[in-house]
């Protein structure tokens, strides 16, 4: 199995570690830049993954019908380890390895695994992905990349590298795509209706810039079944999973909504017109009765898609 921790082959600035995380809604940059400080994001990533746990549990239960008694599960781009630990819970006979390029995030993962009682069958792998997967002592029976693949420049090559580290009959599961989350009604009672749709459009442009600026970036048609097949895998399948937290949202969902909108304001706010910026500022002002901290109609609705394929025996 993987050792408890591998050191990276060479030091690199934390801002250049683009090796994946759990969570999406690509609002992780600051200003118009697309560099991501994963250590700074740790609390937000953990809180978001915890909020999305019902969605992940349904996805993992579906995988559990496809994969029986895996010996080794590798979480690629594990972030702070929330989903890694869900795998440890769902598959009590498996060893789980959280692989990421950020040591601070892996520290969060190890602490979480220890707190939940999984430390004896939980390891971490530190290094640039996908190359660091070569350091696994054994091939994986199940490899999961939860919204982390899009942070690797050459996604086709990364999928081939993932497939290479699967055991014969092993399953690769990637969570990519789905629908943008929704938090608010279309008409807020102030400002121009439809602000979330306009934010989506700006974030799509931000995401394209982020992808283009990655090392070795390759533009790729996002036909995941075809990409998985090109990696030598068979039986490609896809299924989407819903998170539905209706209004009035609980406090932790409100905190997630506020954090997400705040990051949108930091990332794409300069591209909004004055009216939309004013609307977003009201939504983020906890003193305002119309803010997401107070209004009764805040909800969280999101859909994530999982794509799977199997390495031939």
Alpha-carbon distance 207 to 129, whole Å?
20
Could you tell me which of 85, 72, 75 has the C-alpha nearest to residue 116? 85
- Secondary structure in 3-state letters for 26-46: CCCCCCCCCCCCHHHHHHHHH
- The model's confidence at residue 13, banded by pLDDT at 50, 70 and 90, is very low
- The model's confidence at residue 36, banded by pLDDT at 50, 70 and 90, is low
Say which residue, 45 or 81, is predicted with more confidence: 81
- The model's confidence at residue 2, banded by pLDDT at 50, 70 and 90, is very low
Could you tell me which of 288, 236, 303 has the C-alpha nearest to residue 52? 303
pLDDT higher than threshold 90 for residue 21? no
Cα torsion for 14, 18, 20, 24, to the nearest 10°? 100
DSSP H/E element including 84: helix 82-90
Domains of the chain: 14-181+220-246+301-310 (3.40.50.150)
pTM: 0.88
> Which range is least confidently modeled, 8-12, 79-83, 247-251?
8-12
Q: Is 71 exposed, middle or buried (0-12, 13-18, 19+ CB in 10 A)?
A: middle
What are the pLDDT digits (tens) for 85-142? 999 999 999 999 999 999 999 999 999 999 999 999 999 999 999 999 999 999 999 9
pLDDT higher than threshold 80 for residue 38? no
What are the pLDDT digits (tens) for 137-168? 999 999 999 999 999 999 999 999 999 999 99
> Which range is least confidently modeled, 5-14, 179-188, 196-205, 218-227?
5-14
Average pLDDT of the segment spanning 191-195: 98
- The model's confidence at residue 211, banded by pLDDT at 50, 70 and 90, is very high
The residue whose two tokens read 């989407």 is 240
Average pLDDT of the segment spanning 250-270: 95
pLDDT higher than threshold 70 for residue 264? yes
pLDDT higher than threshold 50 for residue 252? yes
The chain-wide mean pLDDT, for the chain, equals 89
Say which residue, 181 or 38, is predicted with more confidence: 181
- The model's confidence at residue 305, banded by pLDDT at 50, 70 and 90, is very high
| Percent with pLDDT over 90 in the chain | 85
């Amino acid at each position: 199995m993987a050792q408890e921790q591998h050191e990276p082959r060479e030091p690199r600035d934390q801002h250049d570690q683009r090796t994946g995380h759990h969570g999406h809604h690509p609002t992780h940059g600051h200003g118009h830049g697309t560099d991501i400080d994963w250590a700074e994001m740790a609390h937000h990533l953990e809180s978001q993954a915890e909020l999305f746990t019902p969605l992940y549990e349904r996805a993992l239960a579906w995988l559990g019908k496809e994969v029986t008694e895996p010996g080794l599960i590798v979480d690629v781009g594990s972030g702070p380890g929330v989903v890694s630990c869900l795998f440890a819970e769902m598959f009590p006979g498996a060893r789980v390895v959280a692989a990421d390029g950020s040591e601070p995030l892996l520290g969060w993962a190890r602490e979480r695994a220890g707190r939940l009682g999984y430390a004896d069958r939980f390891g971490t792998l530190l290094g640039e992905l996908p190359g660091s997967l070569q350091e696994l002592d054994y091939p994986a029976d199940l490899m999961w990349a939860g919204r982390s693949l899009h942070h690797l420049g050459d996604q086709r090559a990364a999928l081939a590298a993932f497939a290479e580290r699967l055991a014969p009959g092993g399953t690769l599961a990637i969570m990519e795509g789905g629908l943008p989350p929704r938090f608010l009604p279309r008409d807020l009672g102030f400002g121009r209706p439809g602000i979330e749709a306009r934010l989506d459009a700006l974030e799509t442009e931000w995401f394209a810039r982020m992808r283009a600026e990655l090392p070795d970036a390759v533009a790729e048609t996002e036909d995941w079944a075809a990409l998985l097949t090109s990696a030598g895998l068979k039986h490609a399948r896809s299924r989407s999973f819903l998170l539905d937290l209706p209004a009035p949202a609980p406090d932790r969902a409100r905190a997630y909504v506020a954090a997400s909108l705040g990051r949108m304001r930091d990332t794409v706010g300069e591209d909004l017109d004055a009216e939309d910026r004013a609307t977003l500022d009201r939504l983020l002002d906890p003193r305002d009765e119309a803010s997401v901290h107070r209004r009764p109609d805040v909800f969280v609705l999101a859909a994530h898609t999982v794509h799977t394929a199997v390495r031939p025996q």
